[in-house]
Every structure is written in structure tokens, then in C-alpha cells.
Chains A and B, each alone.
Chain A
């Protein structure tokens, strides 16, 4: 305790009332602006998504997802490597083993579940507990907030989407008898899977965050999202196949899981097991990509609009 500059007048010693300086000091350092606030929200978003700063338990789910996704990439690489070793070079391709273009269709459900669980953590808590009002009294607008949060989740999701593909690529290269030759022959896979991953990430994060923006209870948002992704698939695909024709094709377009996967197909030039039967393919690449952008941009606009209007 430093020397008190003055002491408070104890009760009973008179009826004066005065306020004394008891050591509070104003902040006299540099005051940074809006970009700093945005960066803070962004960094905080990354921490929330990865469970940092909230004890061991909060880290389990996000890291488990990362581990599972990476494991899938690793297993795919190992299977291909084993096939090469056992059945000679070129066996993996002959056996049509899953590779980069198939990864997202295999991992899609898991990735959507990951998005469903993390995005409510990023948005619902702040609205439920009112801390968003604290943010908005800073030099920060609602759109700053949502863009920063979205950016944070995109980064995390991209890591989750790209890392397994990188592992797969390196695994396939090293599993080949002449890795350099493999790299030379397959280097085009890299920009392909990076783009496909980006498409996947943008779609999943935007839709997940839009859903989370409608409720304050994390639980409902998560379950609703997963339900939406999981159930729309068999429902629309089954229905589409039954009804057939143009109506069937349109219904198939509403399988949410498939929307980014069709883009994946366009990028790699061939369909995956999940999408090859989809009637929607009849619409052609341009329509499918356009449909993807409609959903993603539409969801992004709606999300931005919901938060733009917020005031403290």
C-alpha cells in the first residue's frame, strides 16, 4: 500500500462529503482504433473455436475433430501406400481407391458436425449473456463483430479442411516409389484441394453461423444444424430418385450436404461416390457452382444483415 494522499473522513467526524483520490490512475497510453477491436474479436474467436483458455475439457471436442479428420487423411494415404506395395505401382489408381477428390465427401458429415458445434460457441454465448453489448459500445459495429467472428472460424475450419489433405498428399508422395515423380505428376492436386477445401469451409461456416444467429441456446443451434445437414441428404436424394424428372433434379439440389460437394466434383472433374447418383448433376457444372454461390452468398448476406442492425 503506497502512501495515501489523504484519508477518508470517518463517519461521525462531521457532515462533509468529499471524494478523494485513492489511487485510481487514468490510462494514458496509446488508444488504438477500430482495427484493433476487430483484431481482438477475431483472436478471441480463434481461442473460442479451439477451446483455449477454458480448461482442458473445452479443448476436447475441437481437437478431437481435427484429429479424426487428419486420421482419415492419414489412413487414406496408408491404404494407398499398402496397395502400391502389395499390388505393384499404379495399383491405387487401378483399384480406384479414394483420394483427394473423395476426401470431402467422406469427411463432409464430420465437418458439418464440427461447424454445428463450434459456431454456436462463437455467437450464442455473447447474445445470451449480453456481452455483445459490451463489444458494441466500443468502436465496433455489429458487422465488424460478425465479420471478425466469421473470419476466425474460417481460419480454424480451413486448417481442419486443408491439413488432412496435405497429410494425404505427402503420404501419397512418400508412399510412391519415386516421390519426386509423384509430385511432378500430381502437383495440380494441391491447388485443387485447396480450392475445394475453401469452398467447403465457406459454405459450412456461413450456414452454421447463420443458424447460430437465430437462437441463444447453443444446444438447439447445434442439433438443428446437424439435423439439417444429415437429414436433408437421404430425404432429398431418395425423394428425387423416386419422383424423377425435372422435379427430382430440383429436389436433389436441396440436399445441403451435396451443395459444396458438387463444387468439389467440378474442381476435380469427376463425381464422388456420394454425388454420382445425384439427379442434380443433370443441371451441369455452371448451374451447380452458381447454386453454391447463391446459397453461400445468400447466407452470408443474411448473417451480415442480422448483425448489422445490432446496437448496444
Chain B
């Protein structure tokens, strides 16, 4: 598994990619720092919505994970190097898990640092609020990673579908149709954040803490299971 993990890390950490991820991850930090220069800092709810919900959670986080997660398998399928892995005498989950871990390992530090610094600055060093945001962000990374890795396995149009999901489903529809939030990774993450620090993040409609943990674990496992199943059944190019 270590070989596949290291291979995937190498494949996904091109120079330009790392630069772009760094730039993207620093944007919320810059926002937070500049926003709180003045005394009339926006309230938590506003900050929550603008920076955390829409910018970080809404765009930066899922896009970074899409670019790495979908590429984990789809690049190999496109280049036809995936047979190198599938022709190994190892169970299929030992191919998926390192790929998934590599995606998470690559994306999570950028997101976690961004989330940490942003909330630390915004919430004036409130430890609990900061941890809530960081943990929720990392959970979101894991969830998106498992979903997009699966997507990269099943479709050559993984990126397009992933973008549609992020922009249309989570971005547009979830705003209008409440039921969509039950099927939205972004809202699971927001639910986790609210659950970890209810005193600060109590407002807004969100899912209960225990249900959202259960659903998150279920969704993560579901996509992982589907990916393994796909690896076993697909025709390898």
C-alpha cells in the first residue's frame, strides 16, 4: 500500500498544482485578516456565511479536492497506467485506500491551515470555535475525496460532473430546496461545525450533530465501497 500511496502523492503534487492550492488556501486568510482590521468586524453569522460557507466551503475546498481526488484514478485510466496497479496480487481495497489517503493527505493540510488561521483570526483565538471549523473542514475533505475518487473511477467526465455537483447542486439548488441539503456534503460539514460548537454556530438550519456524523460516516463508507466494487468489476484499459 505504501508504494501506491507514494506513487499517488508524486502523481498529484506537480509544482503548479501546489502553487495554485497554496494561493487558493491563502485567500480566506487574507480576507479574514483584512476584514478584521477594523473595529466593526462582521458578526460571526456574516463571516460564517461569506467566508466560511461560500468561499472556503463553497468553492475552494471542493474544487481543490475535485482536482486531486478525481485525478487520482482518472489520470491513470487516461494514461492507461492503472493496469500496473490492478495486476498486482493485492485485494482491491489496498489499491483504493492509499489513493484515497494520498488525496486527503495532499489536500487536507492546505485546507486545515487555511481554516485554522482564518477562524483563529476571525473568532479572536477562540479555541473551540477554531477546532470546530478545522475538524469540519477536514471531514469535508475526506467526504469529497471519497466521492470524487469514485467519480474519477466511473466516468471520463468526472470533472464536469463534479463541477456541476458543486456549482449547481450544492451551490444553486441547496439554496432553494431544503431537501437537497440532506444530500449535500457541504451541509454535512456545516452541520459538524455547528454541532461541535453550538454556542457560536447555533443559528441557521442544519442537521443534528449525531445524525450528521452517522450520515457522514455512511456516505464516506458508501463511496469507498462503490470504488472497490468498481475496481473489481471494471474492464481495465
The answer to whether A and B touch in the complex, with CB atoms under 8 Å apart, is yes
Assess whether B163 is in contact with A238, with CB atoms less than 8 Å apart.
Answer: no
Q: Is B158 an interface residue (CB 8 A)?
A: yes
Chain A 44-74 per-residue mask, 1 if CB under 8 angstroms from chain B, else 0: 0000000000000110110010001000000
Q: Is A296 an interface residue (CB 8 A)?
A: no
Assess whether B160 is in contact with A61, with CB atoms less than 8 Å apart.
Answer: yes
**In the complex, what residues of B have CB within 8 A of residue A231's CB?**
24, 27, 55, 59-60, 63
Partner of B31, one of A61, A219, A238: A238
Assess whether A223 is in contact with B158, with CB atoms less than 8 Å apart.
Answer: no
Q: Is A217 an interface residue (CB 8 A)?
A: yes
**In the complex, what residues of B have CB within 8 A of residue A58's CB?**
157
Assess whether A234 is in contact with B24, with CB atoms less than 8 Å apart.
Answer: no
**In the complex, what residues of A have CB within 8 A of residue B230's CB?**
none
Assess whether A224 is in contact with B54, with CB atoms less than 8 Å apart.
Answer: no
Known: A68-B168, A226-B163, A234-B55. A242 touches B63 (CB 8 A): no
Assess whether A242 is in contact with B37, with CB atoms less than 8 Å apart.
Answer: yes
Q: Please count how many residues in chain A sit with their CB below 8 Å of the partner chain's CB atoms.
A: 28
Known: A110-B167, A218-B159, A235-B27. A227 touches B34 (CB 8 A): no
Known: A226-B63, A234-B54, A234-B55. A116 touches B163 (CB 8 A): yes
**In the complex, what residues of B have CB within 8 A of residue A230's CB?**
58-59, 63, 167
**The stretch of B69-77, B92-100, B130-138, B215-223 that contacts the partner chain:** B69-77
Assess whether A238 is in contact with B168, with CB atoms less than 8 Å apart.
Answer: no
**In the complex, what residues of B have CB within 8 A of residue A235's CB?**
27, 31, 55
**In the complex, what residues of A have CB within 8 A of residue B157's CB?**
57-58, 60-61
Q: Is A170 an interface residue (CB 8 A)?
A: no
Q: Is A239 an interface residue (CB 8 A)?
A: yes
Assess whether A242 is in contact with B34, with CB atoms less than 8 Å apart.
Answer: yes
Assess whether A227 is in contact with B59, with CB atoms less than 8 Å apart.
Answer: yes
Q: Identify which of residues 229-252 in chain A touch chain B, using a CB-to-CB cut-off of 8 Å.
A: 230-231, 234-235, 238-239, 242-243
Assess whether A226 is in contact with B27, with CB atoms less than 8 Å apart.
Answer: no
Chain B 154-183 per-residue mask, 1 if CB under 8 angstroms from chain A, else 0: 011111110110111001100000000000
Q: Identify which of residues 101-136 in chain A touch chain B, using a CB-to-CB cut-off of 8 Å.
A: 109-110, 113, 116-117
**In the complex, what residues of B have CB within 8 A of residue A239's CB?**
30-31, 34
Partner of B167, one of A109, A218, A224: A109
Q: Is A272 an interface residue (CB 8 A)?
A: no
Assess whether B54 is in contact with A219, with CB atoms less than 8 Å apart.
Answer: no
Q: Is A141 an interface residue (CB 8 A)?
A: no
Q: Which residue of chain B lies nearest to A62 when distances are taken between CB atoms in the complex? A: B160
Sample of 11 more A-B contacts, CB < 8 Å, known A217-B71, A238-B35: A109-B167, A116-B163, A219-B158, A220-B71, A223-B159, A227-B60, A231-B63, A234-B54, A238-B51, A239-B31, A243-B34
What would be 23 A-B contacts, judged by CB atoms less than 8 Å apart? A57-B156, A57-B157, A60-B157, A61-B160, A109-B171, A110-B167, A110-B172, A219-B70, A219-B71, A220-B17, A223-B67, A223-B163, A224-B67, A231-B24, A231-B55, A231-B59, A231-B63, A235-B31, A238-B51, A238-B55, A239-B34, A242-B31, A243-B34
- A residues contacting B by CB (< 8 A) are 57-58, 60-61, 64, 68, 109-110, 113, 116-117, 217-220, 222-224, 226-227, 230-231, 234-235, 238-239, 242-243
